Chains A and B, each alone.
Chain A
C-alpha cells in the first residue's frame, strides 16, 4: 500500500471531506508466503482501521454540523424576531401616540366647538338686543311725537275756547250793560213824570253809549 495511510492526518479538521482519495484509490499488494492467497492481511487490517476512524470522524462532524445548524437557525429566528419586534414597538408606539393625539384633538375640538357655540349665541343675543333697543328707541320717539302733537292740539282748543269765552264775556257784558242802562233810563223816565228831582239825578248818569 503506497497511498492513503497518512490521509487521515491530512484531512484532519477539514470538515466535509474526511474520506479522501486515499480510501478510494487504495490498492493492496498480494499476500506473500506459501499457501496464502488474496491481499496482504496486514495492509487490509490497516485499511479497515483507517476507514473506521474516518467514519467515526464523519459521524462526529455531522453531529457538530447539525448542532451548528440548529444554533444558526435559532440565532436567525432570534434576529428575525428582534427586527420584527423593533418594527412592532415602533408601530405600537405610533398607534398609542395616535390614539392619545386623537383623544387630545377630540378634547380641543369640543372646547373649540363649545366656544364657537357660546360665541354664536352671544352674537345672536347681541344682534337681537341691538334690534330690540333700536325698536324701543323708535317706539319711544313715536310716542313722544304723538304726545307733543296731542299737547299742541289741546292748547289750540283751549285758546279757541278762551277766545270764544272772551267774546262771549264781552258780548254778555255789552248786553247786560245796555239792558241795565235801558232799565235805568226807563225807570228815570217813568219816575221823572212824578218827581223832577229823581229825573235830574238819573240824568247825571251818562248812558252806556256815552261812556264807551
Chain B
C-alpha cells in the first residue's frame, strides 16, 4: 500500500469517526441495505452489536493500514470467518460502494477526488485479501459445520454444559474456539465457545455461562434442548499447545474458561501424558464450581495431572482465594508453559501476579471469554 497516503486516510477516518462510530455504522448498513436489499437477511434483527463490531474492525484496519504484517493475517481471518455469514464475491463491491458513500457523506466538504481514489484502492486491497483467503479456505472446508445438541446439563442456575454432535469432526485444535449460532432459535447471532473436549471426534462439550441479556448464552442455558440445531464457524485462537516445548504445564481457568483447559488436558493425554500438568480452577462462589465430578475424575485418571479448585468469595470445603494467587502461593512456575483463560478481569489479574512471581510473560498464553 506504498502509493497510498496512509496518513490522509487515517485523519479522514478519524474525522468521520468523530461523528460517532455508531452513527457512521448505522449510515453504512442502511446504505448497504437500501442499495442491496438481499444483504439484509445476512444480519440479525438487532444491529447494535453488529455496528460495534464493524467500527472495531474498521478501526483496526485503518490504524494498521501501513502495517501489512499485522493487517494481512487479520484480514485473512476476517475473510475466512465471513464465509459462515454467506458472504460471496458479489457482496464485496457492494460493501465497498457503501463504505465510500458513508465516508463521503460524513466528510462533506473535506471529501476530495484523491481521497475517493485512495479509499477505493485501499478497499480493493482489503477485499482482495479477504476474498483470496476465503477462496483458499473454500477449497478444504465448508463455510460452517452443522451440529445438533445431544445433551444439556444445567449445573447451576446460570451455567450449563452442552454436548454437541456434528456430522463430521470439526478441525479445531485443543484450546481453540469456534463461533456458534443457535440456528433455529437465534439465527444470525454468533458467539465464541471453546470445545471442552480434545479434537478428532464428532462430539464435544461447551461450557456456557449465562450473560445477562446475552442473546446466545441465554438461549443455550435456558431454552436449548436435545435436538436443537447449531452451526459452528471456523476455529480460531492461539491458546494451543506448543508441540516443540516439553516444559510442564500450568493451566489456570476462571469459571467457564475451564473448557479449553480440559481440551488441553485431553490433548496432553492423547500425546502420551508426558508433560506434568497442574490445573487450577477458580470460581467466585461454591455453586459455580460446576464441573467438580469431572475434575475429580480427571485427577484420579491421570497420574501426571494435579487439579486444585478454589473459591474466592464464598464458604466451602476447599481452598479459598483468587485462583492466580492460590496458584502462585503453591509453587514456582517459572519453568512452566502457562495457559490462562477466564473473564478479562481474571486474565489481567492472573497474568499480573504470575509475572510478578517471576514467570516470563512470553511463556503465558491467554484467552478471554466474551462478555455478550
A interface residues with partner B (beta carbon < 8 Å): 90-91, 93-95, 97-98, 101-102, 104-105, 108-109, 112-113, 115-117, 119-120, 122-123, 126-127, 130
In the complex, chain A residues whose CB is within 8 Å of the CB of B48: 105, 108-109
Closest 8 CB pairs of A and B: A116-B213, A116-B212, A108-B46, A112-B213, A97-B30, A94-B30, A93-B34, A98-B30
Q: Which of B159-203 contact A (CB under 8 A)?
A: none
**What is the 8 Å Cβ interface bit string for chain B, positions 41-67, against chain A (1 contact, 0 not)?**
000011110000000000000000000
Which residues from A are CB-within-8-Å of B45?
A: 104, 108
Interface contact A127-B285, CB-CB below 8 Å: yes
The contact string, 1 if C-beta is below 8 Å from chain A, for chain B 254-277, is 000000000000000000000000
A97 to chain B, nearest CB (A): 4
Known contacts: A101-B47, A109-B46, A119-B218. The answer to whether A127 contacts B287 by CB under 8 A is yes
B89 part of interface (Cβ distance < 8 Å): no
B344 within 8 A of A: no
In the complex, per-residue mask of B122-144: 1 if CB is within 8 Å of any chain A CB, else 0: 00000000000000000000000
Check if A90 sits within 8 Å of B31, measured CB to CB. Answer: yes
Q: Contact between A97 and B34 (Cβ–Cβ < 8 Å)?
A: yes
Residue B29 is within 8 A (CB to CB) of chain A in the complex: yes
Interface size class of B (residues with CB under 8 A): 20 to 34
Are A101 and B287 neighbours in the complex by a CB distance under 8 Å? no
**Counting chain B CB atoms within 10 Å of each CB, which of A102, A104, A112 scores highest?**
A112
Q: Which A residues are in CB contact (< 8 Å) with B210?
A: 119
The minimal Cβ–Cβ distance linking A109 to chain B, given in whole angstroms, is 6
Closest to B156 in A: A126
* 19 contacting pairs across A/B (C-beta < 8 A): A94-B30, A94-B31, A94-B34, A101-B29, A104-B45, A105-B47, A108-B48, A109-B48, A113-B213, A115-B212, A115-B218, A116-B214, A117-B212, A119-B210, A119-B212, A119-B213, A119-B218, A122-B157, A123-B158
- Decide yes or no: A101 and B157 within 8 Å by CB, A109-B46, A109-B48, A116-B213 being known contacts: no
Contact A115 B213 (CB under 8 A): yes
Convert B205-238 into 0s and 1s, putting 1 for each residue whose CB lies closer than 8 angstroms to a CB of A. Answer: 0000010111100100000000000000000000
**A100, closest chain B residue (CB):** B30
> B27 in the interface, Cβ–Cβ < 8 Å?
yes
B363 interfacial contact with A, CB 8 Å: no
Contacts A93-B34, A119-B158, A120-B212 given; 7 further ones with Cβ under 8 A?
Answer: A97-B34, A98-B27, A102-B26, A109-B46, A109-B48, A115-B212, A116-B214
Contact indicator per residue, chain B 1-43, by CB within 8 Å of chain A (1) or not (0): 0000000000000000000000000110111011100000000
Which residues of A are found within 8 Å of B212, using beta-carbon distances? 115-117, 119-120
